[in-house]
Structure 1
Amino acid sequence: MTYEMTYERNEVIPGLVLNRAASTGVLLRLMRPEAKAAWLWLCRRAELPAAVVDAFVSHPDWRMRASFAQSEVAPAADRARLVDDADRRVLLELAHGPTPFRAVTEPLPDAVYTRLLTTADPEVRRTAAMSPSIPARVLAGHTGHHDPGVRTGVCRAWDALTPADREALLGDPDAAVRAAAARHACRTDPAHTDGVLAAMTPVHRREILAGACLPRATAERLMDLDDPYDRQTLAGNPSLPPDLVARLAVDPEHDVRRAVSARPELTEEQRAAVDHSVRRSDALRPLGWVLALDGDSDALRACAASAHRWLRRNAAVHPALPADLVERLAEDEDFVVRLMICEKQPDAPAGALLRTVLEWDGRSVHDMLRLPQFPGKGLARYADHEEPRLRRLAVEDPDTAPEVIERLTRDEAVWVRRAAASDPRLTRERIEELLRDPDTARPAASNPRLAEADMHRLLDAVAVPA
């Protein structure tokens, strides 16, 4: 294949990163300063060769190393190698860790967190102490840390602390540590609740309204809050007395009544008696009490069988949902329940995945198409469908004829053309044509039909040195 200098650098370079056939040599070349458009994409590539990981850790540009420290897909053991980095900006990124969308990050090794918590740089220490991925067991070992910023972070591990450590933090000489300790202590000890509420801003007090153990007098006073969002939050508080729950069940605000209807102690009859509704478009917060249930518990099964859509939606995202409940909720009457099964359950039934992809066009569809059980066979029938998003599905069928794939690369809809451009059933000549089109250059560069020599020539064409 021959190339002309007509390619969009910022399209071809990320496309090569995404190419499953890209060799170690190609990936290493993409780490050159002239290929900065690839750096963020490289950090998002899973299962990097060892030589590429080595190059990340020793890269001369701190931004490349910092990006790797924030990688959502790199193994924690690989990211941990940056603990010896000389640039505090890299250490700050490592200490904070990645924050993937709707996913949990693999924590760094305990010894690495200990080094970060005990480093001489106070900002790195405090960032590590507040990391969303640091395990509670690590924080619990630093209740006597000399840095009050770290001790404030240690309070997040409240349930893992000994009674003596909790008392020490509640009586800490630093006011910020005492306040953080009280915010956690008030979940089980009402003696701290009023003081915490008095110190909180209206925006931040909702966390306390949701989970604090409320004295009777405090609960009665909060019933008269003017802000309906505050009352809605209060309606889910597990310590709220039954008579006050009953008052909120007839609140003039619908969302307050709906929050009452999802309380764990209610029977199905009591839930149905609360005037509320759950619509398809309602973006409802997770119910912590449902997600905390044991996967084999009768309570989780009751949620999955409940007439209350909000409970079934939460059961659908439970990380330990039994297989029979996955099958059951995959056929639920509520679209959002079915969607949550397809988004959150790795063993979602193939039929449910196909039905969801056919009737919905959200951001998670791409992930569903990548699941090994997704039923691609037969999707060639959509190649001439009037809807572009369905024509695009024909590319997922292993039996779609090469000439149909080639025709889809000329589709009027750009998303269809891009989907087809990465298909290895295309001829190398057609791939070359697609590489010259700014709309399809990126997916064409990710086409595994490209040989290694082709990829290097592409890099030559966009002036990335060997």
Structure 2
Amino acid sequence: MTYAREEVLRGLARNEAASSDVLLRLLRPEAKAAWDYLLNRSGLPADVVDALVTHENWRVRGVFAQSSGAAPADRARLVDDPERRVRLELADGPRPYHRTVEPLPDETYARLLSAPDRVVREMAACSSSIPDRILAANAGHDDPWVRKAVCRAWDLLAPDVHAALLADPDAGVRRAAARQACRTDEAHTDEVLAGVERHERRGVLEEARLPRATAERLLDLDDPYDREALAANPSLPPDLVARLATDPEHDVRRAVSARPELTEEQRAAIDYKVESKDSLGRLGWVLALDGDSDALRACANSAHPWLRRTAAVHPALPADLVELLAGDEQFVVRLFICEYQPDAPAEVLLRTVLEWSGYTTYDMLRLPQFPRKGLARYADHPDPARRRLAVHDPDATPEQIERLSRDESDWVCRQTAADPRLPAARIEEFLRDQWTAFQAASNPALTVARMHRLLDELGVPA
């Protein structure tokens, strides 16, 4: 039986035991299937990085420019790349799920924002990873697209800079400035609402300081979408908040119930519910709280699940509140503790993995505090979701791993394919199976000599 070629190449690109020589071979055109996996890998050796940033194929350099695993200083070496598309990828930056991106060096942003190519400048200014302080330093930039992006750093700008942006000769800059200014100055709110696109309207209604007449007019319109957004607006007068608290639409009442100024008794008096299946955004006012504040503690102890959910993802949640919310009655709160808190307690990590099989459980299993010892007790469990956990027990015997590699569940078999305790002959079998070849090729038990022979057999030149 032949090898599952592309899966083997991708697995070798992820193999932590692969030497520089192996990784360099994977940069050959014949190993193109491995490129995305290799280029997004973290901790690449210096000689491999050198080969990436000078690779003859611009697509290799372009993917590396957006790599979420590469060091920013290594990506920055592409700032003068001869291929425009590579420079655009660098300017845009990585967009990993659930993680923030470390910014490029300051001098690299300076080069990108002063690039002769207008689109490169605009991509850099609009990048999600560019720091606000870099934007704030470019308030007087010649490019109106950059000045428009500068408005995102509004709170760092001086009053005279605010005034200049609000009076900018470019209409797009003026609109962006007014959008930020309306959060504290109601004089701009009606103008912003009149010109905003529908998909941006909700954010304005939630954040802008509202003239009384505007708020009353919007409440009188038969638009529950607008009323739900208004229900979160901090400038809404108390009597209008009270009106929305009895709104016929449940989602509007629920939005009112999560307002920051309400007491627990006032929240309880509103007819709302939050179920585990409800997909709710994070409450910005909770995330903005200081990690040591009494207000954050009140949110973590609230009877309102939405407040507790948001507290669970707070980046500065104190250890005692992490412990508290790890035992929450709502599954989503416990899940968020596991997904967002690096020091989530071991017992809640295990409980969540046993209760749920979502893809973030793989991140949980990799956390150093995850309780792996003893998981081999699930090796004979009737549920394959639990049998697969046995593979993560450091004390599981090679015999147990080999037996699980022949499990009736393909999912369990696949879990064993990357385990270095697996017999060499079984790894070889897995390399020829489309379902398990990726994991088998990433198995650190493969010797470098065996990796080179694999590449020989797959027609990848040395």
TM-score, length basis structure 2? 0.98
Distance 2:94 2:240 in 1: 42
Does residue 123 in structure 1 map to residue 119 in structure 2? yes
- Give the match for residue 211 of structure 2: 215
Unaligned runs of 5+ in 1: none
- Between the aligned partners of 1:209 and 1:231, the Cα distance in structure 2 is 9
Equivalent of residue 330 in structure 1, options 314, 326, 329: 326
1:297 matches 2:299 = no
Gaps of at least 5 residues in structure 2 are none
TM-fit CA distance, 1:210: 1.1
Q: Matched residues in 1 for 2:225 and 2:75: separation? A: 41
Give the superposition deviation at 1:71.
0.9
Q: Does 1:80 align with 2:76?
A: yes
Cα distance, 1:146 vs structure 2: 1.2
Map 1:137-176; keep pairs closer than 5 Å.
137-176=133-172
Matched, 1:27 2:23: yes
Higher deviation after alignment, 379-388 or 307-316: 379-388
Q: Secondary structure at the match of 2:198?
A: coil
State the SS of the aligned residue for 1:302. helix
User: Secondary structure at 1:158's aligned position in 2?
Assistant: helix
Deviations 1:87-107 (A, max 9, x none): 111111111111111211111
DSSP-derived class of the 2:204 partner:
helix
Residue in 2 aligned with 1:349? 345
User: Alpha carbon RMSD of aligned pairs, Å?
Assistant: 1.0
What are the Cα deviations for residues 192-247 of structure 1, in whole angstroms up to 9, with x where unaligned? 00001001122321111110111111111111233322211111011111111111
Q: How does 1:168-187 map to 2 (within 5 A)?
A: 168-187=164-183
The alpha-carbon deviation at position 175 of structure 1 amounts to 0.8
Matching residue's letter, 1:237: N
Deviation at 1:345, TM superposition (A): 0.5
Matched, 1:421 2:417: yes
User: Match for residue 95 of structure 1?
Assistant: 91
Q: 1:112 aligns with which of 102, 108, 113?
A: 108
- Residue equivalent to 1:69: 65
1:151-173 CA-to-partner distances (Å, cap 9, x unmatched) read: 11111111111111111111111
| Rounded Cα–Cα distance in structure 2 between residues aligned with 1:311 and 1:446 | 42
Is 1:259 the equivalent of 2:232?
no
Query: Which aligned pairs between 1:197-216 and structure 2 lie closer than 5 A?
Result: 197-216=193-212
Q: 3-state DSSP class of the match of 1:187? A: coil
1:9-53 per-residue CA deviation (whole Å, 9 max, x = no partner) reads 211011111111111111111111111111110122111111111
Query: Which of 237, 242, 249 matches 1:241?
Result: 237
**Aligned match of 1:375:** 371
State the partner residue of 1:462: 458
Q: Which residue of 2 aligns with 1:434?
A: 430
Q: Deviations over 1:257-290 (max 9, x none)?
A: 0110000000000011110001011110010110
Which moves more between the two structures, 252-261 or 80-89?
A: 80-89
2:77 is matched by which residue type in structure 1? R
* Aligned-partner Cα distance in 2 for 1:318–1:409: 40
Matched residue of 1:146: which SS? coil
Inter-partner Cα distance in structure 2 for 1:203 and 1:47: 40
Deviation at 1:82, TM superposition (A): 1.0
Matched, 1:47 2:47: no
Instruction: Read off the aligned partner of 1:263 and give its amino acid letter.
Output: R
In the TM superposition, 1:303-314 aligns within 5 A as 303-314=299-310
Task: Find the aligned partners of 1:124 and 1:63 in 2 and give their Cα distance.
Answer: 17
**Alpha-carbon distance in 2 for matches of 1:399, 1:225:** 65
Encode CA deviations 1:49-75: one digit per residue, 9 max, x unaligned: 111111111111111111111111212
Aligned residues with identical type, % of pairs: 69
Distance, in Å, in 1 between the alignment partners of 2:17 and 2:165 is: 54
SS in 1 for 2:149: helix
Other structure's SS at 1:84 match: coil
With the length of structure 1 as denominator, give the TM-score of the two structures: 0.98
2:312 and 2:200 mapped to 1: Cα distance?
29
Partner of 1:281 in structure 2? 277
| 1:404 alignment partner, one of 396, 400, 403 | 400
CA distance in 2, matches of 1:65, 1:320: 36
